[in-house]
Amino acid sequence: MNLIIDVGNTYTKIGVFEESKIVYKKRIEQYHFKEAIQNIKEEYPLITNAIISSVSTIEENHITHIKRMYHTLMLDHQVEMPFKNLYKTPTTLGIDRLALVAAAVDQFPNKDVLVIDAGTCITYDFKNKKEEYLGGAIGPGVRLRYESLHNYTAKLPLLQVTDPKNHIGNSTEEAIHSGVVFGILHEIDGVIEEYCNIYTDLTVILTGGDAHFLSKRLKNSIFATSNFLLEGLNHILAFNNSK
């Protein structure tokens, strides 16, 4: 069994896999880390391997704690990937994006796949039928757009994410909701259409914290999944342990 740890900008996500099947998932804040790991150790004593991915800061004692219990792979740019990375600056590529591409390779082999991760940022990552990662795009996510409007203007309020009732906002608050939410939806649909013009048999994956909120509002056909990044990390771990 494998222990998968993804340290994000806001939360740490933990998964337990039995081969390729996820049997446990939890999202925690870092101060609950050791308690959560101890509970998992007691509930899943057959775990032998772990992988840690971090796009934020993880306390060194947390890493040490995991390494004492399991054979642990720290994901970085030196770790071998199950695809060919054609990104021009591979050391600047977020390791979370590497994991998403690994999941695409594992679950959709020999297909053109666009992975959209709607989190703090919205990232677009593309791998082709030859299992080559070509790159993608990075833009601000839903909450980041709300915060930017508030932080970089004198009078616009900071609002919570809300489903706008109409494209035409007839108050400042409704105008903000319309601008943020419909702006993102049109952006995502537009990016998908651009890719479809080039890759006619394109598979589109939508994942990340805002995937559920956005998926039912998009006009394009997509696969929405909340576990894609954890599944990608599990595949990277299995790929490296098979060597």
pLDDT band at 34 (very low <50, low <70, confident <90, very high): confident
Binding residues: 6-13, 87, 94-97, 117, 120, 172
Could you give the C-alpha distances from 204 to 52, 159, 184, 232, in angstroms and in order? Answer: 26, 30, 16, 16
For the four alpha carbons of 26, 66, 234 and 55, in that order, the dihedral sign comes to positive
Q: Give the span between the Cα atoms of 222 and 124, in whole angstroms.
A: 13
Asked whether residue 30 carries a pLDDT value surpassing 90, the answer given is no
Catalytic residue at 96?
yes
Binding residues for K(+): 117
pLDDT tens-place string over residues 173-224: 999 999 999 999 999 999 999 999 999 999 999 998 899 899 888 888 788 8
Q: Which residues contact 69 (CB under 8 A, 6 or more apart)?
A: 37, 41, 50
Q: Residue 241 in contact with residue 4, Cβ under 8 Å? A: no
pTM for this entry: 0.91
Q: Which domains does the chain have, with CATH numbers?
A: 2-74 (3.30.420.40), 107-232 (3.30.420.40)
pLDDT tens-place string over residues 45-91: 999 999 999 877 777 888 888 999 999 999 999 999 999 999 999 99
Q: Catalytic pick from 96, 112, 125, 210?
A: 96
CB atoms within 10 A of CB 215: 17
